[in-house]
Amino acid sequence: MQTKVAIIGAGPAGALLSHILDRAGVDNIVLERQSRSYVLERIRAGVLEWGTVETLREHGLADRLDVEGHVHDTINIAWRGTETLSVDTSEKIDRRMMAYGQTRIQEDLYAAADARGASIVFEASDVALHNVTTDSPYVTYRVNGTDERIDCEFIAGCDGFHGVSRQAIPESSRKEFEKVYPFGWLGILSETPPLPILLYVNHERGFGLCSMRNPMLSRYYVQAPITDSVDDWSDDRFWSELVGRLPSEHADQLVTGPSIEKSLAPLRSYVCEPMRHGNMFLAGDAAHIVPPTGAKGLNLAVSDVRYLSRAFIQHYQGDDSFLDSYSDMALRRVWGAVRFSWWLTTLLHRFPDQTAFDQRAQEQELSYLAASAAAQTALSEQYVGLPFE
């Protein structure tokens, strides 16, 4: 097979890139290791920066999002079990966020792919990248027991943190930055009405998060030891731990019920530099991951794709400047989000070696945030998302 851009991975980054390129008439083929239903069932992100919402709207992907998405404009943080700060981002910087599940975005992307007859090969195994530093790179893979090959001009590595694309950059040309946090997030999904606000919690017992997907679907998290297993956490244990970390006014409002999904996610910050090697370009989790605190992972995947799709489209119109600046430009925004996610994670979690002094220092920083308009503006700017270049 022959195409202009071979895209590895049909998660949000790969499927969105394919959608934008198809609309611009840039031929592409997507290879996905998993089945379509497996990708659609993954429960992940839920909070969209406004730039992400606008990007999806610009590309005709927001019909359902505009009906079902829940616009919200406050960042709420509780601490000491009694105090709560509420920052109104629309008042501070005139920008908002939207709660809309990644699962829904993935469904919208696949529905759009079906409508335009896009080329997505599911259950493609043994994907390998070849000749990436030449003008004739190619990708090999196996599907339905047959070996296949795609010759292309560019390869877009959108295959997530555990994908193969990043390995195409030799270790001598790759710089990796990593921080692994000594705890995880135990998350549950329940078909119960969510709290009316999205609430982050700093508590002596550990972090908590109350989040929403839609009026009858709630997503909650508690910080848990990464050595725990999901089986250690009955629904009753989860709810009582969450309630114990919330101020009573919110605990009283919490509607509990059986979980329909439960998972334990490790927390890690990771960046690979550069995001280009020859004619292979990385986008999304393939190049970087952030802890979910601050809700940046999916949003970064979308902003990378915004830059990369523009770079490919401009290339086919005779201008390589965005292709040449892609890695530096994407990394500027990535590091902004990586720093913010690290800061918010550090501020809101209980670390294993944390002393009473450290706990008080965290609480004081939250009290300062509650009192300072300047600090709230800085928080708002980064939370709703830095502007695109």
Ligand X SMILES: Cc1cc2nc3c(=O)[nH]c(=O)nc-3n(C[C@H](O)[C@H](O)[C@H](O)COP(=O)(O)OP(=O)(O)OC[C@H]3O[C@@H](n4cnc5c(N)ncnc54)[C@H](O)[C@@H]3O)c2cc1C
Binding site for ligand X (CB under 6 A): 8-14, 31-34, 39, 44-47, 102, 124, 127, 158-160, 162-164, 187, 265, 284-285, 292, 295-299, 301
Q: How far apart are CA 84 and CA 79, in angstroms?
A: 6
Residue type, 58: E
Nearer of residues 3 and 359 to ligand X, judged by Cβ: 3
Alpha-carbon separation of residue 15 from 223, 242, 284, 305 (angstroms)? 31, 35, 12, 10
Active site residue 292: yes
- For residue 32, how far is the Cα from the chain centroid? 18
Nearer of residues 128 and 243 to ligand X, judged by Cβ: 128
Alpha-carbon separation of residue 106 from 28, 91, 215, 281, 302 (angstroms)? 18, 31, 20, 22, 12
Q: How far is the CB of 164 from ligand X (least distance, A)?
A: 4
Q: How far is the CB of 114 from ligand X (least distance, A)?
A: 17
Q: How far apart are CA 291 and CA 77, in angstroms?
A: 17
Active site residue 130: no
- Structure tokens belonging to residue 303: 């902003």
Nearer of residues 69 and 160 to ligand X, judged by Cβ: 160
Nearer of residues 33 and 315 to ligand X, judged by Cβ: 33
Catalytic residue among 72, 277, 288, 315: 72
Catalytic residue among 296, 307, 315, 326: 296
- Structure tokens belonging to residue 318: 């005779």
Q: How far is the CB of 51 from ligand X (least distance, A)?
A: 12
Catalytic residue among 181, 200, 221, 326: 200
Catalytic residue among 12, 137, 291, 292: 292
Q: How many CB atoms lie within 10 A of CB 281?
A: 29
Residue 11 near residue 160, CB atoms below 8 Å: yes
Active site residue 383: yes
Nearer of residues 163 and 206 to ligand X, judged by Cβ: 163
Q: How far apart are CA 339 and CA 344, in angstroms?
A: 9
Active site residue 110: no
Backbone conformation region of residue 322, classed left if phi is above 0, alpha if psi is from -120 to 50, else beta: alpha
- For residue 146, how far is the Cα from the chain centroid? 33
Q: How far is the CB of 297 from ligand X (least distance, A)?
A: 2
Q: How far is the CB of 176 from ligand X (least distance, A)?
A: 17
Catalytic (active-site) positions: 72, 200, 292, 296, 383
